[in-house]
Amino acid sequence: MSSAASYGCVYFDRRCFRKDDVKSSKGRKLYVCNSVASTPQGLQFANTKVQIPEKTVRIGVLGASGYTGSEIVRLLANHPYFGITLMTADRKAGQSIGSVFPHLATQHLPDLIAVKDANFSNVDAVFCCLPHGTTQEIIKALPKGLKIVDLSADFRLRDIKEYEKWYGQPHRATELQREAVYGLTEIYRREIQDANLVANPGCYPTSIQLPLVPLIKDNLIKSKNIIIDAKSGVSGAGRGAKEANLYTEIAEGIHSYGITGHRHVPEIEQGLSEAANSEVTVSFTPHLMPMSRGMQSTIYVELAPGVSVEDLYQHLRIFYENEEFVVLQKEKEVPHTRHVRGSNYCFMNVFPDRIPGRAIIISVIDNLVKGASGQALQNLNLMMGIPESTGLNYMALFP
């Protein structure tokens, strides 16, 4: 993994701020961080789009009382350009973020309000962290001109008939669906750069598509008989009170669910089918693990004729060698969820199967960061024309 870094200043269009430069917007100050590291790809897109920012980017977080919303708030605490001016949480309206999430009590932020009471005149961009099925009408009603990253599933499926089939209700913003860009950053970076609405990928699809899309696109693996065994921390099920998520139901065991019918299946197959230029069907079984966060996808694939496991490894190495957040580990090193906890990284590796002609791919992410809020911030950085790693250079929490 290689990166370009500038220390003591931040470069935009060959100009820079020193770390002590201050810009203000309506009395609010913007302090530029001491150093920003970014990939060559991120710097390339930043240099082509944005001039030196004159103001902070004013951020609204819709659904701030959920896990993905709180992760957005945590990540933005150290972002030099994005400042939160609006937070909504219907059931927690009137409360401070510190009373809902004590670990965020040191942040000086506006109180939570109901969505219906939100005033977007002081907002430039929105993270929408609302439940599936509730987002379409809310985003449709937002003022024009906002940059929006939606963390729900409401705009991920391009075929609205597929959405209705898997989510059990008709799509309520079909015109917006046509302009939504799927936000798997490393694969759709150029499209995301010019988007107004980005559908942030699901956690399982992120961990699965990152290794598979490059291999399928270049015909190194067969697009049939792909078997995916995926495991997630309990936070992936959301913060709502559910009997199935009680400690006594989850602890000291593994909970398989959504067998043959998980809602991420069409999203996974959509991305892989596009890479293959033909319909791809996968066998996908998710499991809930007794841990707070983390995700591992173990993927079993058939090699294309004449292709070796080493060919897969070298192709992924070249494809991701300049990426900030996707790391192909050294040969024989096994990716573990504990090594990406709290970070925006995806660690992956490829191993030979005992069955000739097959390979095993292991991919790990933090389901709340690269699988949700971190990738959402990476996408909004791109949309606003700044280096995509800004505010995301957190190392993993270990142990």
Q: Residue 230, SS3?
A: strand
Are 302 and 272 in contact by the 8 Å Cβ rule? The answer is: no
Q: Residue 375, SS3?
A: helix
Query: Catalytic residue among 128, 129, 203, 346, which?
Result: 203
- The rounded distance, in Å, linking the Cα atoms of 6 and 35 is 6
- The rounded distance, in Å, linking the Cα atoms of 2 and 190 is 20
Nearest to 4 by CA among 56, 32, 45: 45
| Tokens coding 237 | 């099920």
Radius of gyration of the chain, Cα coordinates, nearest whole angstrom: 21
Helices (H), 18-87: 40-49, 67-76
- The rounded distance, in Å, linking the Cα atoms of 192 and 169 is 27
Are 340 and 291 in contact by the 8 Å Cβ rule? The answer is: no
- The rounded distance, in Å, linking the Cα atoms of 257 and 234 is 12
Are 229 and 201 in contact by the 8 Å Cβ rule? The answer is: no
**What number of helices (H) and strands (E) belong to the chain?**
12, 19
Tell me, yes or no, if 203 is annotated catalytic. Answer: yes
* DSSP state, residue 202: P
Dihedral in degrees, nearest 10, Cα atoms 67, 73, 76, 82: 120
Residues that are catalytic: 203
